[in-house]
Amino acid sequence: MKIGIIGAGTIGTAFAKHVAAAGYEVVISNSRGADTLKEKIKQIGGNIVAGSVEEAAKADVILLAVRWQQVAEALDPLSLEGKVVIDPTNWDSPEFVLAEPGSKTSSEVVCQLTKGAKVVKAFNTLYAQVLAANPQVGGGKRVIFYSGNDDDAKAIVASILNRIGFAGVDLGSLHEGGKLQRFPGGPLSTLNLIKL
């Protein structure tokens, strides 16, 4: 399985380290071009290459690790129909504002923008430095919550989580599970749980 990463900030890099160490073939990209990532891929090691955003989008599974304000621009030129897209983005506002009851979650918006991709919300409730750390702690595994509307896509993400050492917890649909995962405001945001 090939994994593409769009965005090489702290979340994208933390994820890249885990999947590259687990033996996945990885393409990491950013908006500034592959040449700007040479040092980063040396630090990450494993079977990882720097590529264009379009090359990352050709992978079997894509992590969309860009800031919320860049989501629409990053997705606009890409064809992701049928792809599994892992969405760790969080709605961003200059002030802490709770979502209105019944409103769409950020991943439901991402789902509309990806035009036919199978979106799975994951890796959005923990800070990057926690995600980057060893997921195996004290005889247990760090919990990663995920949600999505496609069971096959969620099964793929669950298998990746397991292979890289995390314990996945399925929260259901993007609407219901996404509300629990909301950052800020969701009851599960920033909880660093270990499954024994």
Q: Is 100 exposed, middle or buried (0-12, 13-18, 19+ CB in 10 A)?
A: exposed
DSSP 9: S
DSSP string, 82-129: T-EEEE------SS--PPPTTPPPHHHHHHHHTTS-EEEEES-SS-HH
For Cα atoms 141, 125, 17, give the angle at the middle one, nearest 5 degrees: 60
Residue 25 has φ and ψ, to the nearest 5°, of: -80, 125
Residue 104: the pLDDT is: 83
> What is the distance of C-alpha 12 from the center of its chain?
8
Instruction: Please compute the mean of the pLDDT values over residues 16-35 and round it to a whole number.
Output: 97
State the CB neighbour count (10 A cutoff) for residue 20. Answer: 22
Residue 95: the pLDDT is: 45
State the CB neighbour count (10 A cutoff) for residue 150. Answer: 17
Tell me: the pLDDT tens digits for 117-174? 999 999 999 999 999 999 999 999 999 999 999 999 999 999 999 999 999 999 999 9
pLDDT of residue 93 exceeding 80, the answer is no
What is d(CA 40, CA 50) in angstroms, rounded to the nearest whole number?
9
Confidence of residue 115 (pLDDT cuts 50, 70, 90): confident
Tell me: the pLDDT tens digits for 30-69? 999 999 999 999 999 999 999 999 999 999 999 999 999 9
Residue 184: the pLDDT is: 79
CATH no. of 2-195: 3.40.50.720
Query: Out of 82-86, 113-117, 122-126, 182-186, which region has the weakest mean confidence (pLDDT)?
Result: 182-186
